């Protein structure tokens, strides 16, 4: 985490137009960096896995709603079934964190050098999007493996993959290296949009909060006849930080969810003659024909339910 914070602190986003570092901007960027890190770690440690496996099964048209799927998993496969596929993200989270912040720093540096001024919200979205695009090189295969393990039964007689390593071997044997990157176009679109939204929306919300806190601090100082407030860190109440994180997480998934549905649908598809979706276009067409526009939002309920407390809590860590 310290390396992430250091990288974020040196980003051009935190540089003021004058000399030195803008404390308010530094708080915003470091907060966003810490927030994404905690979300990635939370997912890798399995804190979100029970919600995630329900979401994936709903996306792939398993019968019943979220509660029915969860109760069926518990009754038929036991509590451990909620954590199927968690090893792959646990292994890959370190690479994801490094890629996201390394890429975000490079992109934001290049954009500020090009424009010679602090980044705007759209430019922050672009820098975050490019970071997400880079991350998709790892997150694509990682989530493909996780989804295949989540979709299979835990019963030994019905199990297809013996574990993470066996899943990788079978994917490579049946489809080669390219098979690991199945659904990659949808993954890239989702990652670009996700990280673009995360950095830009949280940054914009926190900028408004910091501006409001600065205005109240100035008014209080003037009322107390204490003159102008001293330069330094602006203290933002924890509940406001949590609120910004919660809103960011909800906005992210609400705007980005169809990409995730298409990605999961393609990654859970069969091989050879059993494969139904050759391209992203085929998957989109099938979802539309079967379920209409609602098909692109299957499983959104548990996703938003998970995102609200996780996104709020991560910015307080």
pLDDT in tens, 158-215: 899 999 999 999 999 999 999 999 999 999 999 999 999 999 998 899 889 888 878 8
Alpha helices per DSSP H over the chain: 2-9, 23-44, 49-59, 66-77, 87-115, 121-151, 164-175, 177-180, 184-223, 238-267, 280-291, 300-314
Residue 233 confidence class, pLDDT cut points 50, 70, 90: low
3-state DSSP assignment of residue 62: coil
pLDDT at 88: 86
What's the rounded mean pLDDT across residues 37-57? 70
Structure tokens at 128: 């975050």
pLDDT of residue 135: 94
Please check the confidence at residue 234 and state whether its pLDDT lies above 50.
yes
User: What is the domain partition of the chain in residue ranges?
Assistant: 23-215+235-315
Residue 132 has pLDDT above 90, yes or no: yes
Backbone phi and psi for residue 77, each to the nearest 5 degrees, phi listed first: -125, -10
SS3 at position 21: strand
Most confident of 28-32, 213-217, 239-243: 239-243
CATH number, domain 23-215+235-315, options 1.50.40.10, 1.10.10.1800, 1.10.1740.10, 2.40.110.10: 1.50.40.10
SS3 154: coil
Cβ atoms of residues 266 and 186 within 8 Å: yes
The pLDDT tens digits of the residues spanning 270-300 come to 998 899 999 999 999 999 999 999 999 999 9
Other CB atoms within a 10 A radius of the CB of residue 273 amount to 5
Measured CA to CA, the distance from residue 259 to residue 210 in angstroms comes to: 33
User: Are the beta carbons of 217 and 237 closer than 8 angstroms?
Assistant: no
Output 219 or 77, whichever has higher pLDDT.
Answer: 77
């Amino acid at each position: 985490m310290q390396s992430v914070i250091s990288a974020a602190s040196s980003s051009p986003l935190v540089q003021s137009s004058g000399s030195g570092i803008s404390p308010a901007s530094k708080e915003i960027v470091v907060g966003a960096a810490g927030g994404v890190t905690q979300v990635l770690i939370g997912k890798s440690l399995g804190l979100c896995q029970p919600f995630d496996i329900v979401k994936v099964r709903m996306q792939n048209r398993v019968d019943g709603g979220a509660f029915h799927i969860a109760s069926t998993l518990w009754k038929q496969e036991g509590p451990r079934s909620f954590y199927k596929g968690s090893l792959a993200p646990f292994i890959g989270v370190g690479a994801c964190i490094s890629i996201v912040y390394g890429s975000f720093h490079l992109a934001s540096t290049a954009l500020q050098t090009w424009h010679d001024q602090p980044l705007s919200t759209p430019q922050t979205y672009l820098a975050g999007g490019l970071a997400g695009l880079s991350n998709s090189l790892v997150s694509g295969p990682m989530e493909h493996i996780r989804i295949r393990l989540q979709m299979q039964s835990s019963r030994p007689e019905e199990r297809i993959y013996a574990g993470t390593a066996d899943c990788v071997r079978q994917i490579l044997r049946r489809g080669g290296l390219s098979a690991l990157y199945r659904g990659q176009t949808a993954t890239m679109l989702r990652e670009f949009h996700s990280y673009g939204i995360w950095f830009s929306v949280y940054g914009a919300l926190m900028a408004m909060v910091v501006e409001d806190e600065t205005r109240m601090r100035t008014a209080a100082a003037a009322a107390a006849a204490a003159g102008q407030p001293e330069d330094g860190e602006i203290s933002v109440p924890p509940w406001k930080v949590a609120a910004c994180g919660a809103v960011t997480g909800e906005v992210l998934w609400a705007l980005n969810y169809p990409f995730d549905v298409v990605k999961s649908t393609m990654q859970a598809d069969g091989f050879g003659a059993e494969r139904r979706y050759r391209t992203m276009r085929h998957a989109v067409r099938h979802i539309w024909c079967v379920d209409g526009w609602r098909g692109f939002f299957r499983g959104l309920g548990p996703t938003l339910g998970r995102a609200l407390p996780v996104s709020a809590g991560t910015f307080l860590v």
